[in-house]
Amino acid sequence: MNWACPLPLRHYPHIVMGHGGGGRLSADLVEHLILPAFGGQSAGALGDSTVVPPIAGRLAISTDSYVVRPLFFPGGSIGELAVNGTINDLAMSGARPLYLTAGFILEEGFPLATLAEVARRMGEAARQAGVRIVAGDTKVVGKGQADGLFINTAGIGELRPGVDIGPCQARPGDVVLVSGTMGDHGMAILCAREDLEFDGQLESDCAALHELTEVMLDAGTIHVLRDPTRGGLAASLNEIARSSQVGIVLDEARVPIGEKVQSACELLGLDPLHVANEGKLVAVLAAESADAVLAAMRRHPLGRHAARIGSVTGQHPGVLAAKTSIGGTRVIPMPLGEQLPRIC
Amino acid sequence: MKYLDEYRNPTLAKAILAEIHASVTRPWVLMEICGGQTHSLMRYGIDELLPPQIELVHGPGCPVCVTPLEMVDKAIQIAARPDVIFLTYGDMMRVPGSEGDLLQAKAAGGDVRFVYSPMQALEVARQHPDKQVVFFAVGFETTAPANAQAVWQAAREGLGNYSALVSHVLVPPALTVLLSAPENRVQGLIAPGHVCSVAGCADYASLAARFQIPIVVGGFEPLDLLQSILMLVQQLESGQTRLENQYSRVVSAAGNPAARRMVEEVYEVCDRRWRGIGELPLSGLRLRRKYAGFDAEVVFGLEAPGVEEDSECISAQVLMGQKKPTDCPAFGIRCSPERPLGAPMVSSEGACSAYYQYKLVAP
């Protein structure tokens, strides 16, 4: 961590209740730690809200809270997640993300240097994505009342004219694409949290997907976009099947899964289709657009391993089925809750 | 993935399937004993690819499912104590007791954690000398050696704050009851490969001889299961009743003598209640008297309250292969993984749960 503590914060290596009290300590925290990281305005410009110029098109709005443990993991941290996660939620309705807000809930005693590193990573992720963090808030709760650091981000994006993407839009005859390998984020977090060691490190796929969705929208008409986060691909496709009242048939052998993720899942008795992703998307679109969109995805760095994995049918509405690798069929259910490793 | 993809090869699977289709002339009822095998059969849709003459019924081999209700209640009781860190294999967390499960005990403030091995539990005990660290030692012959070793190691180190809540079950006594039942329909058995890798094959050879039934020790991958089914069909069609070992890359006739010695050192055979089935004589393992100081039931002085199981549930017949999950009027309606009425619905490897997950079309 390369953060050098600026003068007014030097007496406080850890968060104290006063950092959330709205007084000078709060102001110091925002002015000397948060704002420099986000690369923005001077403190003098801070009001109770931020005013932005008019936006021409329809707006997409989303919010999400981030409570990941550990805070830092191979491939990212809660900072990148908080920025990219909300960007991705906006991108999945076909919007170009413009502005984010960030709210921090801090536990008394949380190291300031860690907060600085998280904020730096948030600023860096936002800059890379071309999105501005324009409003924020910090609150402090007593020791033991939170687990270190929680972040909420909300975002606003502008929709492209003519785009109509939503979970109800899948139609029989459509095809299903994914942008890359499944399960990387969830398995990286699990292994980092539980100190599990496998041959070679598992890395989170955490990334902002709005540029990938832009090239996809340029290449063809898309009916549904989802980022398969919690519950993985299985949850996303089940939701699409239910919302659109269609059946979805997955060709299991075609779903890209990294070898390390596959091995770790085998060992722990987990199903990679139920494991979370943070830098992948699933798209449902008309068969005639599929080749062009798939080619466009594969030209983008985040879509190199994109694949056609299934199709939409009028049969068994609301149900996700799979053609298994040896030619059988099965239903893929909506995951119940958290996946738990099996005994044997 | 090396060592696994070979056993999931679609071309080879088709070839074995063709051979099964060519070999079968009459109807046969086969049972896979282990929950892991049930799970694999359903996950790959193997049952649908078999000729209609072959009926698969599913055995009692899901250790999570058959852990008795009163043991789950005891676990929840211990986990709720403020001086306890309670450790368990992950899939025991959601198994319902008479009231609630371990996940709910955790939500209510209990320190409940899941571990991948009892050795991790020992480590927690070393790190927290001020706490009682209790490990929920469940499972068949497969998990018994490691669980036994943890107790043995704790005794050697004098780790007074480590104890095990032991509820091990043994496969052969359950099979004896199953095959002796007048209602038994099972004509061929796929024996649990991982259990045999520890316990060896002798008990299964005796069962094959005593009940005049072919038994194949089988693995867990699609090709293992298809080959095991083929071997059973070939025996049945030619009137043989031998023990064969399909899973020879893992299982030897003698099993694992070192592991068996460890089990023998720490555990003794006892009568055990099986959830969904009832009390089976000499079907469980408990800690020997000299390890009583590491027995959570002794440490916490727990009484075993008799608990009634749900009367609508037909789990005994399902676990004994007499009925299919879908024969149950409550299946998928009043009984689901969210609200299980009985043993085979509680873990993902239970037969009812496997049917619910992989077969239930149109909710």
| Averaged pLDDT for residues A179-193 | 95
Residues A120 and A242 in one domain: no
| Averaged pLDDT for residues B310-326 | 87
Q: Which residue of chain A has the CA closest to B16?
A: A326
pLDDT in tens, A132-182: 999 999 999 999 999 999 999 999 999 999 999 999 999 999 999 999 999
Q: What is the pTM of this model?
A: 0.89
Residue A97's CATH number: 3.30.1330.10
Q: Which residue of chain B has the CA closest to A265?
A: B1
Amino acid sitting at position B180: S
Residues 21-80 of B with CB under 8 A from A: 36, 42-49, 63-64
- Residues paired with B61 in a beta bridge: B34
**In this predicted structure, what is the pLDDT of residue A70?**
94
| Averaged pLDDT for residues B83-111 | 93
Query: Which residues of chain A are within 8 Å of residue B47 when distances are taken between CB atoms?
Result: 328
Q: Which of A77, A293, A56 is nearest to A174 (CA)?
A: A293
The region that residue A195 occupies, defined by phi over 0 for left and psi between -120 and 50 for alpha, beta otherwise, is left
A266–B contact, CB cutoff 8 A: yes
Q: Min CA distance, B182 vs chain A (Å)? A: 32
**In this predicted structure, what is the pLDDT of residue A62?**
98
Per-residue pLDDT band at B306 (split at 50, 70, 90): low
Beta carbons of A326 and B1 less than 8 Å apart: no
B200–A contact, CB cutoff 8 A: no
| Averaged pLDDT for residues B259-283 | 95
Residues A147 and A206 in one domain: no
| Maximal C-alpha separation, chain A | 67
pLDDT in tens, B177-204: 999 999 999 999 999 999 999 999 999 9
| Pairing of β B28-34 and β B54-61 | parallel
Q: Is residue A126 exposed (0-12), middle (13-18) or buried (19+ Cβ within 10 Å)? A: buried
Query: Which residues of chain A are within 8 Å of residue B104 when distances are taken between CB atoms?
Result: none
- Dihedral (CA of A73, A258, A235, A282) sign: positive
Residue A207's CATH number: 3.90.650.10
| Averaged pLDDT for residues B10-19 | 96
Query: Domain spans of chain B?
Result: 1-312, 315-359
**In this predicted structure, what is the pLDDT of residue B273?**
93
**In this predicted structure, what is the pLDDT of residue B362?**
40
Query: Which residues of chain A are within 8 Å of residue B91 when distances are taken between CB atoms?
Result: 269, 340-343
What are the C-alpha distances in Å from A331 to residues A244, A257, A316, A318?
Answer: 18, 19, 10, 11
Mean pLDDT (chain B) is 93
Helical ranges in B80-191 per DSSP H:
102-107, 118-127, 144-157, 171-180
Residues A131 and A251 in one domain: no
Q: Which residue has the tokens 């399960």?
A: A183
Q: Is residue A162 exposed (0-12), middle (13-18) or buried (19+ Cβ within 10 Å)? A: exposed
SS3 B363: coil
Q: Is the pLDDT of residue A241 over 90?
A: yes
**In this predicted structure, what is the pLDDT of residue A91?**
98
**In this predicted structure, what is the pLDDT of residue A6?**
66
Per-residue pLDDT band at A344 (split at 50, 70, 90): low
Beta carbons of B10 and A253 less than 8 Å apart: yes
Q: Which residue has the tokens 């095990």?
A: B164
Query: Which residues of chain B are within 8 Å of residue A318 when distances are taken between CB atoms?
Result: 362-363
With contact defined as beta carbons under 8 Å apart, do A262 and A200 qualify? no
A147–B contact, CB cutoff 8 A: no
Q: Is the pLDDT of residue A41 over 70?
A: no
Residues A41 and A99 in one domain: yes
A·B CB contacts under 8 A: 99
Q: What is the CA radius of gyration of chain B?
A: 21
Per-residue pLDDT band at B4 (split at 50, 70, 90): confident
Q: Is residue B308 exposed (0-12), middle (13-18) or buried (19+ Cβ within 10 Å)? A: exposed
Query: Which residues of chain A are within 8 Å of residue B363 when distances are taken between CB atoms?
Result: 318-319
The CATH number fitting domain B1-312, selected from 3.20.20.100, 1.10.10.10, 3.40.50.11740, 3.40.50.300: 3.40.50.11740
Neighbours of A52 (CB within 10 A): 12
Query: Which residues of chain A are within 8 Å of residue B15 when distances are taken between CB atoms?
Result: none
pLDDT in tens, B124-162: 999 999 999 999 999 999 999 999 999 999 999 999 999
Residues A248 and A313 in one domain: yes
Beta strands in chain B (DSSP E): 28-34, 54-61, 84-88, 111-114, 132-139, 162-169, 188-192, 215-218, 243-245, 267-274, 278-287
Beta carbons of A325 and B48 less than 8 Å apart: no
CA atoms of A234 and A41, how far apart (whole Å): 42
| Averaged pLDDT for residues A14-28 | 90
- Domain boundary residue among A159, A186, A218? A159
Complex confidence, ipTM: 0.84
Beta carbons of B142 and A326 less than 8 Å apart: no
Comparing A4-13, A324-333, B149-158, B258-267, the range with the smallest average pLDDT is A4-13
